[in-house]
Structure 1
């Protein structure tokens, strides 16, 4: 790998796009203090459902949604299901443009957050620490939510200290998208649903092509090396531990098994099997038909299906490979939260609860572009047959017991999360560019965090 000018090309999947809203939230507190009291529900834990013998004052909810294609339409479908139970509630869906993180912080500071708004799992702890999220657990049972039916890993991504602050909208379990045309050219069958790391490496060696100068012209994998949902499983994959909670320290260097696991991932790029994270490419090389495997989630399948027709290759999907010592699979989600300053928390809590019911999930997933977050809908044909029938869709829901959380982001002080993420990037780049041996690169990362974690 050539040590040129570094340019980090973030390859993470479409889980976190640009969005959220900017209009004022009627009735919000006049306080300009961003860190607020979040003592949740207004008392009942549920909106009062429609009853012929009862009348209700009209309520308007503002719901902020990302701007990416299809999200507002999917949420409007949930609104329709919600209105059947709560006809006295008017729901105003607001499609917002701009960086979602910056937008939420600006709206919160100006007391303009909607009653309900979208956020990625990576923002839950930060927003909860700022006091802008209301706890949601009290709304679930009164609104027909069976939390035992929700994939635990996705529900846990919305929790802080055991309380739920975000409801997940889908189940985004990392899988391996496959260019089966490249496999056929190499005489390789589609891997089995229990394929191992050794099998993956055997395929990688057979699928990677280099020219006479040693430059890779066909890659085995787009490893999504920057994404926590990929690198964290690898860090655990040889049996390593990332953190010593009792000692309040990270152990990315002091536990050598972490380094062995990360080396498995990083060497894919170092040895030319995976795309260079500092490389510059004319287009998405998997979409161009030049990469055999892609660690991603179901939401990209529709785009792959469309592009494959134009580019003339076939595709399928298999699970994330089983790593050598620990079966660990990453994942992620985004979802919806209730503003701690909403004056309509009962109705807002009832609305977000809809995302965890069969009616709400069927409405939201009516386009089939994501996997329902309810285990009971794993066999539903709507998502299984999208974007096309005949794929190995079992891969999307296999082994939920292997799902892992973003350990460092979940356990570190909020103030150190970004610093730790930067530490990972620096360690990876210094190793790949030959600036530091693996052990020294990881030691820098570890010392950087532990020095600040008192």
Structure 2
């Protein structure tokens, strides 16, 4: 890892960076929340070792969208029980968090700890922004065997941890059960497969007299790696030949067969058209039966379903024909490579891998705990409403996969590969190129540059 960051390179990155995350809104008013620095009675009676520490103050940067600062404040309170000598100042990162970290790093103003999505870990590690966390995790007695390995892996580069995941979010299928009932269909079982999915898709899709779809089987989330990568593997294909530095999306015909399964959902009208114009989110409007998403969306779905008058539930991601692969994503907290308080900052992020920290952070119930030992904990299972098929959120963690291309390709080629996927998909869907030629273009653009 680079020990120092070249400010000129960072400045160029800031100019060229496209927004990778859309802020979900923010709270008005003061952007800084200073946590109570006075220890609780139980914390004040800490060990002699704790009492010998000089006071320390750390900054924690969080996204500005609603709820995040409040959830982190709950973690701060749990942290203070163990570290009463540490004052934690929670700061909202106004605007795009990705660009904010780059700007603060270039100005040498990074918080000691800051929020990070899994999609930024490799880039920021490559720039030397992130401190490795494995020593801190070990020093704080964390049992990493209790952490879902896929989520831990999303925060790692070359086997070293640079981001601690805050939740477990593998892809599930949100279901409009009212549409199933209207079609005379029962809720599929948790072991449903691709054949069952397609049977339901055909029965749930409705078209008008002109052949235009007016009710869709699925919002496939076709742009998201956590959906398309499992499909690329689903027929037994291999995306890359790592030893020879080759992308194999065209060379391995099984990759094309798997992607065709996904892309044909849109081409044949079963799934929303990624190039279509819709007046609103059609799943939220009650016009789509299935939606590939994560638990964080369930609270919004529950609220909208009440307002729109439809029922909903959740299923696992369907088992694909040859390989059971499930994508996912997470975000979490990292430590700045330039922090002067590595011990305390490392201890703070480690709190997210403890039962106390998880219960505190998940007090709102919008996430699945990242600890396997909390699979049956009521703090999340009954949220946003009781009676749902919550087992779907944690079924088959052994099928979880990592983002193969963004974890194996050179950092400089990740965005190029993402563009290659989008162009191949669109050229196929718009009948500009047959599947094989569209995939060949994607493969060629990467292999010419991958040395």
Shared fold (TM-score, shorter chain, > 0.5): yes
Partners of 2:147 and 2:356 in 1: how far apart? 14
Match for 2:422 among 420, 425, 432?
Answer: 425
2:59 is matched with which residue: 34, 56, 62? 62
The residue aligned with 1:324 is 321
Residue equivalent to 1:33: none
Structure 2 counterpart of 1:231 = 228
Displacement over 6 Å in runs of 4+:
none
Which ranges of structure 1 fall in alignment gaps of 5 or more residues?
1-13, 25-48
CA distance in 2, matches of 1:17, 1:192: 35
Partner of 2:15: none
Alpha-carbon distance between aligned partners in 1 of 2:141 and 2:364, rounded to the nearest angstrom: 24
Q: Give me the CA root mean square deviation.
A: 1.6
Match of 1:273 among 270, 275, 278: 270
Q: Which residue of 1 aligns with 2:175?
A: 178
Structure richer in helix, relative to its length: 2
Partners of 1:52 and 1:124 lie apart in 2 by: 37
How far apart, in 2, do the equivalents of 1:400 and 1:279 lie? 34
Mapped partners of 1:65, 1:19: distance in 2 = 13
Structure 1 position 258 matched with structure 2 position 263: no
Distance (Å, rounded) in 1 between the aligned partners of 2:423 and 2:101 = 28
Deviation at 1:55, TM superposition (A): 2.5
Looking at structure 1, the residues matched to 118 and 346 of structure 2 have their Cα atoms a distance apart, in angstroms, of: 18
Local SS of the residue matching 1:133: coil
CA separation of 1:15 and 1:361: change in aligned 2, threshold 3 A: farther
Number of equivalenced pairs: 415
Q: Does 1:291 align with 2:288?
A: yes
Following the alignment from structure 2 to structure 1, what is the Cα–Cα distance between the partners of residues 202 and 24? 37
Where do residues 12-411 of structure 1 align in structure 2 (5 Å cutoff)? 17=23, 50-52=46-48, 54-411=51-408
| Shift in CA distance, 18/386, structure 1 to aligned 2, threshold 3 Å | closer
Output the TM-score relative to the length of structure 1.
0.90
State how far apart, in whole Å, the 2-side matches of 1:68 and 1:275 are: 28
Q: Tell me the distance in 2 between the aligned counterparts of 1:265 and 1:179.
A: 20
Shift of 1:144: 2.6
Unaligned runs of 5+ in 2: 1-19, 33-44
Would the aligned equivalents of 1:59 and 1:90 in 2 still touch at CA under 8 Å? Answer: yes
Which whole-Å CA distance do the structure 2 matches of 1:134 and 1:336 have between them? 11
Q: Is the 8 A contact 2:25 2:66 kept in 1?
A: no
CA distance in 2, matches of 1:246, 1:274: 36
Matches within 5 A, 1:413-452: 413-452=410-449
Q: Do the aligned residues in 1 keep the contact of 2:21 with 2:96 (CA within 8 Å)?
A: no
1 or 2 for the larger relative contact order (CA 8 Å, sep ≥6)? 1
